[in-house]
Amino acid sequence: MSHTFNIVAVSGSLQRPSRTLALVQAVLAELSGHLPLHARVIELGELAPHYGAVTRPADLPDTVREAIQAVEQADLLIVASPVYRASYTGLFKHFFDFVHHEALFDLPVLLAATGGSERHALVIEHQLRPLFSFFQAQTLPLGIYAAEADFTDYQVSDSALQARIRLAVERALPLISHRQPLIASTDAAVAAPV
Amino acid sequence: MTVLAILGSPSKTSRTARLIERSRVALTALDIELQTLSIHDFPADALLHGQFSHPQIQDFQQRVSTASGLIIATPVYKAAYAGALKVLLDLIPEGGLAGKPVLPLVSGGSPGHLLAVDYSIKPVLAALKASAIHQGVYAVESQIGANANGEAELAEELEQRLQTAVHEFAALLGVNAPAPHAPRYANDFISRLISL
């Protein structure tokens, strides 16, 4: 019997095309070579009109509730944000402000960020990791930071970044493959990422 | 002289807003005007897509750039500043706080989140190149209340810390006036000297 792993990625980019989304897709593509998975990408730029101005959880529309539920039920969560003012974007944080503080216990989370230059690489360690540590999630030891120069036409093109993605996935696998997946699949089909 | 307060609380009548209210009283006494903005003052679509060309966003940037200093006020959510605050900070241009003193006012549910001031908020203010970041005031929510008229009322210990901080902040703006209460650490220092 095979299992399909439920991988949810949150891309904090507000624009399309987006390097952050391209990075998320590259990670999913790499993962799909190793695991049978069902991938769900939540693009906050698309979702923003439905929660950006909402300040009370009770006022969230179903589309956003459903996205939050998907995050909470993931076997692996990939979070990626562009770097704004040396941190994740406001809307990225606003989204996770709606996630219940007990909903991500022990969930493996792969941290990723994209910035204009290498200078903001520490955003992973100083902003993203503390946020998901608060949730008592299992932040994966290796995060992925990508700079603008690592992309060509909004696709990952730098070989060092590609190697980093492979390594991050390789090191993530032992931490997620033992999980009892939520979705039990009877066929061996691998859902295409994205 | 004008100071701009950016309120990161999604609720206009929040405890964090009450910290601003008490600061306004103290600043007004020093002849410093305090204006306050929160996400409720902006149209959602302009905020969501960071439309720098939107008239209200440009007005916001103008108010930031003409303010002598800023108060950045936020509740602690998930051990960090509120997303509703960061949405507004994202609209400040690169280096937009250069030359400006900033006073962080932070409220949290327990003393355990004090370090969110130093580890979460201050790095963002530093990235915006604030010239001087005041130590800040961290308040536990149980210390913040309101009187029968709905006016902010703080626990005495917090009120003293806030008054001291506002006066120190005013000094960074070039407005010098003695604080109504000597700083707590000075009192402690003197009392320790006396006890020696």
- Segment B52-78, tens digit of pLDDT: 889 999 999 999 999 999 999 999 999
pLDDT at res. A60: 96
Cα–Cα distance measured from residue B67 to residue B60, given in angstroms and rounded to the nearest whole number: 11
Query: What CATH homologous superfamily does B2-195 map to?
Result: Flavodoxin domain (3.40.50.360)
Share of chain B above pLDDT 90, in %: 78
Q: In this model, does residue B185 exceed pLDDT 70?
A: no
- Segment B102-136, tens digit of pLDDT: 999 999 999 999 999 999 999 999 999 998 999 99
Which of A15-29, A66-80, A105-119, B3-17 comes out lowest in average pLDDT? B3-17
- Test B44 with A52 for CB contact under 8 angstroms: yes
Block residue for tokens 């604030």:
B130
- Test B79 with A131 for CB contact under 8 angstroms: yes
Q: Does A117 touch chain B (CB under 8 A)?
A: no
- B9-48 burial: b if 16+ Cβ within 10 Å, else e: bbeeebbbbbbbbbbbebbeebebebebbbbeebeeebbb
Pairing relationship of beta strands A155-156 and A151-152 according to DSSP bridges? antiparallel
| Banded model confidence at residue A2, pLDDT cuts 50, 70, 90 | low
| Banded model confidence at residue B142, pLDDT cuts 50, 70, 90 | very high
Q: How far is CA A146 from CA A57, A127, B147, in A?
A: 33, 16, 51
Q: Does A53 touch chain B (CB under 8 A)?
A: yes
The verdict on residue A187 lying in a domain is no
pLDDT at res. A187: 42
| Residue A17 near residue A154 (C-beta atoms within 8 A) | yes
Higher pLDDT residue, A15 or A150? A150
Interface of B with A (CB under 8 A): 10-11, 39-40, 44-45, 47-50, 77-90, 92, 119-120, 123-124, 126-128
| Residue A14 near residue A45 (C-beta atoms within 8 A) | yes
Higher pLDDT residue, B182 or A157? A157
Q: How far is CA A157 from CA A148, B45, B85, in A?
A: 10, 33, 34
The verdict on residue A185 lying in a domain is no
Chain A positions touching B128 (Cβ under 8 A) are 85
A with B: how many residue pairs have Cβ under 8 Å apart? 93
Chain A positions touching B95 (Cβ under 8 A) are none
- A44-55 burial: b if 16+ Cβ within 10 Å, else e: bbebbebbbbbb
The verdict on residue A128 lying in a domain is yes
Average pLDDT of span B84-101: 95
State chain A's mean pLDDT as an integer. Answer: 91
Block residue for tokens 């100071």:
B3
Return the structure tokens found at A171.
Answer: 């090191």
Return the structure tokens found at A163.
Answer: 């190697």
Q: Does A101 touch chain B (CB under 8 A)?
A: yes
The candidate with the shortest Cα–Cα distance to A22, out of A172, A165, A191, is A165
Average pLDDT of span A132-148: 97
**Residues of A (126-185) whose Cβ lies below 8 Å from B:** 126-127, 130-131, 133-135
Q: In this model, does residue A57 exceed pLDDT 80?
A: yes
Average pLDDT of span B19-47: 92
pLDDT at res. B125: 97
Its domain, for residue A47, covers 3-179
Write down the pTM of the prediction: 0.86
Block residue for tokens 């690169």:
B94
Q: How many domains does chain A have?
A: 1
The verdict on residue A184 lying in a domain is no
Share of chain A above pLDDT 90, in %: 83
The candidate with the shortest Cα–Cα distance to A170, out of A73, A25, A35, is A35
Average pLDDT of span A57-81: 96
Per-residue DSSP letter, A15: S
Average pLDDT of span A113-138: 95
Q: Does A90 touch chain B (CB under 8 A)?
A: yes
Q: Please report, for the domain that includes residue A11, its CATH number.
A: 3.40.50.360
Q: How far is CA A139 from CA A78, A147, A172, in A?
A: 10, 21, 10
- Segment A22-44, tens digit of pLDDT: 999 999 999 999 999 999 999 99
| Banded model confidence at residue B43, pLDDT cuts 50, 70, 90 | confident
SS3 B69: strand
State chain B's mean pLDDT as an integer. Answer: 90
- Test A49 with B83 for CB contact under 8 angstroms: no
pLDDT at res. B182: 54
Of A48, A85, A127, the CB nearest to B89: A85
| Banded model confidence at residue A184, pLDDT cuts 50, 70, 90 | very low
- Segment A165-178, tens digit of pLDDT: 999 999 999 988 77
Block residue for tokens 């624009």:
A15
| Banded model confidence at residue A191, pLDDT cuts 50, 70, 90 | very low
Q: Does A88 touch chain B (CB under 8 A)?
A: yes
The verdict on residue A194 lying in a domain is no
SS3 A28: helix
- Segment A102-112, tens digit of pLDDT: 999 999 999 99
Chain B positions touching A100 (Cβ under 8 A) are none
N residues, chain A: 194
